[in-house]
C-alpha cells in the first residue's frame, strides 16, 4: 500500500501539553512550519488539538515520521473533533479535560472514548523527547524503592505493555497512597477515570500500545516498539509529573 492510500485509509480510523484552562478550542487543518504542525483555533469548540512539541521525524529511528504524522494529525485530531461533538448540550462542555476523566462513567460512551483519547495522547506527546534524557537520581531512587531495582521496574512495565490484549495503554502511576504502581487500561481508558477503572492514580508515564502507534515501522513486533520507547522517554517530564503528584 502506498503512502497516499494508507493516509486515506487511516483517515477513516478512530481517530504538548494537557490544558489547565477549562476551555480550549479545536484546531482547524494543520500547516507545517519546519516539520511541525501549527494550528488555527476554532473558537466555537471547547477542546484543542495541541501541536507536537517537536518535528514529525524528531523521534526517528525509534518512532518514524509517517507514524507520527498519522497518529497526531488523524487519530488524535479525530478524538478531539468527536469529543467536541459529544459534549454539546451536556455538563461536560463546562469541564476541563482532566475533570472529564474524573467524572465520566461507563454510560458516557462517546465522551469516555474520545475524552480519554484526547487526554491520553496530549499526555503521551509530552512524555517523548527527541533528545536523550536520563532519569535523575531522585526519580530513580523513588522507582527502585517501590520496584526493588530499575531493571525490575522496566521489566514489569514491559510485561504490562506486552500483556494488553488488543488496544490500550500501559501506565506508571502515583497511587492515592503515594506509591508508584504499574497498570494497564483497555482502549482509551486511563487511571484518572475513577468511576471506571480498578487501579486509580495520577499517570506520570504512559505508553500507547494501539497498533496504529507502531505498526508502520515495527509491524506486529510490539516488544520491539516497547524497547524503542525507552530511547525517547522524556524523564524530565516524568519527574515533573511525579513531583506534582
Predicted pLDDT at 123: 98
- Answer whether 3-126 and 137-244 agree in fold: no
Which fold does the domain 3-126 belong to in CATH?
Helix Hairpins (1.10.287)
> Is residue 212 marked as binding?
yes
> Is residue 121 marked as binding?
yes
Q: What is the 3-state secondary structure (H, E, C) of 176-199?
A: CCCCEEEEEEECCCCCCCCCCCCC
- Spatial CB neighbours of 39, under 8 Å, sequence gap ≥ 6: 27, 28, 30, 48, 49, 51
> Is residue 208 marked as binding?
yes
Domain ranges, ordered by start, for the chain: 3-126, 137-244
- Spatial CB neighbours of 117, under 8 Å, sequence gap ≥ 6: 14, 15, 75, 76, 79, 83, 188
Predicted pLDDT at 216: 82
pLDDT tens for the 245 residues of the chain, in order: 444 343 333 333 333 333 333 222 223 333 333 343 333 344 467 899 999 999 999 999 999 999 999 999 999 999 999 999 999 999 999 999 999 999 999 999 999 999 999 999 999 999 999 999 999 999 999 999 999 999 999 999 999 999 999 999 999 999 999 999 999 999 999 999 999 999 999 999 999 999 999 988 999 999 999 999 999 999 999 999 999 99
> Is residue 75 marked as binding?
no
Q: Which CATH number fits domain 137-244: 3.55.40.20, 3.30.70.1450, 3.40.640.10, 3.40.50.360?
A: 3.55.40.20
Predicted pLDDT at 45: 76
CB 171 within 8 A of CB 203: yes
Amino acid at each position: 500500500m502506498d503512502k497516499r492510500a494508507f493516509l486515506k485509509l487511516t483517515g477513516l480510523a478512530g481517530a504538548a501539553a494537557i490544558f489547565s484552562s477549562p476551555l480550549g478550542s479545536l484546531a482547524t487543518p494543520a500547516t507545517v512550519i519546519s516539520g511541525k504542525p501549527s494550528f488555527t483555533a476554532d473558537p466555537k469548540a471547547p477542546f484543542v488539538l495541541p501541536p507536537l512539541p517537536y518535528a514529525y521525524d524528531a523521534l526517528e529511528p525509534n518512532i518514524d515520521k509517517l507514524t507520527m504524522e498519522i497518529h497526531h494529525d488523524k487519530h488524535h485530531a479525530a478524538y478531539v473533533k468527536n469529543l467536541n461533538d459529544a459534549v454539546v448540550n451536556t455538563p461536560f462542555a463546562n469541564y476541563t479535560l482532566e475533570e472529564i476523566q474524573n467524572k465520566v462513567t461507563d454510560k458516557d460512551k462517546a465522551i469516555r472514548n474520545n475524552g480519554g483519547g484526547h487526554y491520553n495522547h496530549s499526555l503521551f506527546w509530552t512524555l517523548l523527547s527527541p533528545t536523550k534524557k536520563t532519569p535523575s537520581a531522585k526519580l530513580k531512587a523513588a522507582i527502585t524503592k517501590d520496584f526493588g531495582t530499575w531493571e525490575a521496574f522496566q521489566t514489569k512495565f514491559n510485561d504490562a505493555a506486552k500483556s494488553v490484549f488488543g488496544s490500550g495503554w500501559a501506565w506508571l502511576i502515583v497511587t492515592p497512597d503515594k506509591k508508584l504502581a504499574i497498570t494497564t487500561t483497555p482502549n482509551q481508558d486511563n487511571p484518572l477515570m475513577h468511576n471506571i477503572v480498578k487501579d486509580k492514580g495520577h499517570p506520570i508515564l504512559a505508553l500507547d500500545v494501539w497498533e496504529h502507534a507502531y505498526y508502520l515501522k515495527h509491524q506486529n513486533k510490539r516488544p520491539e516498539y516497547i524497547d524503542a520507547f525507552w530511547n525517547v522517554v522524556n524523564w524530565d517530564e516524568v519527574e515533573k509529573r511525579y513531583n506534582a503528584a
